[in-house]
Every structure is written in structure tokens, then in C-alpha cells.
Amino acid sequence: MRKPLLFRFTVLTCTYIALSLIVFLCLYIMDARLRRVNKEIADCKNDKSSNIKIDLVDSSPFHLKGSFPGPQDTPYEGGHFEVDIVIPDSYPFQPVKMKFITKVYHPNISSASGAICLDILKDAWSPVLTLKSTLISLQSLLCSPEPNDPQDAEVAKHYTTSKRSFDETARYWTQIYAGGPVVKKMEVKELQRDEIAIAGLEKAHVDQFESLGFERSKVIDVLRRLNYRGANVANISEDRIVEELLK
């Protein structure tokens, strides 16, 4: 009878040691994560040249708000953009979760949810990346859209078919959502300061189909969905638009 008892004791002892090690490792990883995040926040505050800011949300070091100015010589210049940041349990071995709080008109950013399509937030993440360097990458993304790998397909179509119209709409969104500079008077007149401008459409096109008796909101929805913008207007017949409006 002694052998089974000794065996049970050995198994229980090994199990206890294993569980203790697991608990220790979990606590160590959590402590390491906290120390790293606190260091990154402090480093960012001490760096005055990057204009990248990171603040706590509800006093939690694992739920943060990042912000940065819109890059120069882009439609986002002059705007102030905020990003929601969630630190996962296994950070920095797992990428941070980021999405824009500020509404942005950009092919790689969802105009509805703020979700971001960027490789370093997915499979290209590396533990050497930091919160600041990731926010700088988001700032760079505003300079260099990737319409062939979009998060927002409609905005990407707008970008590829009419860059000038896209820039006007992105600049308008920067003004109304990111506190950007007021658009020049002529541009304001063209944009009409309403949902037509936000959709990146021409007022004349909306008026044309609205005059047929269709509701403005439905006209805007259909024209936006069909990407009735720029050079693409010539590829879509008026009959096709009316068919969609009648559905």
C-alpha cells in the first residue's frame, strides 16, 4: 500500500509545483507587460518632437488613447486625430488593438467604425514595435493610402476614380471631424457643407435624380454605392441608377 500512496503524493506534489510555476509565470508576464507599457507612455511624454501623445482611459494602463496631428501636404493637414488603444494580455508578443476614434475619410480606415487595415496590426507585428512607433505608422498611413488593400471599399473606389474629388472630401471630413482648417470659400460652396460632401458626390448629380422625385438620402446612398464619381460617371448609365433607386 505504500507504493500507491507515495505515487499519489508525488503526483500531487508535481501538480502543485506545476500550478505554482504557471501562476508565477502569469504574474511575471503581467508585471512585465505593465512595466513595458508604463515605460512606453513615459518615453512618449518625454519625446516632444514627435507630437505623438498617449493618455490613459479611465486610469487603466491597458486602455489608452493615442493622438497625433494630420501630416503636412495631405488632406488631413491641420486635423487632430485620436486613436483607441487596447493592450492585449500577451503584449508585446501580440499586436495592440487600435481603431480611430476620429472619423477619417481614407481607403484603409473604416468610415463607419474606425477599423484600420495595416499589416503591423496583424501578421506583420513584431515585439520590437512600440505604441509610439505604431501611432507614427498610422500617421504615415494617412500620407500613403493603399487602395488595393482597402478597409473601406467605397472610399477606395473614390480614391482610384477621382483623386481630386477624394482629396476634397477627405479635407472636408478633416474640417468637420478633426478640427481641421476651414475649407476655402470656393470649396465650401462646391461641397455645400452637407451629406453630399461627406459622401464625396457632386451636388448636380444628386439634384438630377432628386428632381425625379426620389428622396435625397436614397439618391446619395445609391450614387455612393455605385461609385458615381469622377471618371466613373461615364461608365454608369442613368437607367441603371434609376433601376437601383426603384428597388
Residue 162 near residue 154 (C-beta atoms within 8 A): no
Residue found under cell 451636388: 203
Alpha-carbon span 201 to 88, nearest angstrom: 40
CA distance 94 to 96: 7
CA distance 68 to 110: 18
3 state SS of 86? strand
Instruction: In whole angstroms, give the CA distance from residue 55 to residue 69.
Output: 15
Distances (CA, A) of 9 to 5, 6, 19, 23: 6, 5, 15, 21
Q: Is 26 in the active site?
A: no
At residue 184, the 3 state secondary structure works out as: coil
From 14, 26, 44, 117, active-site residue: 117
Element (H, E) at 62: strand 60-69
Name the residues annotated as catalytic: 117
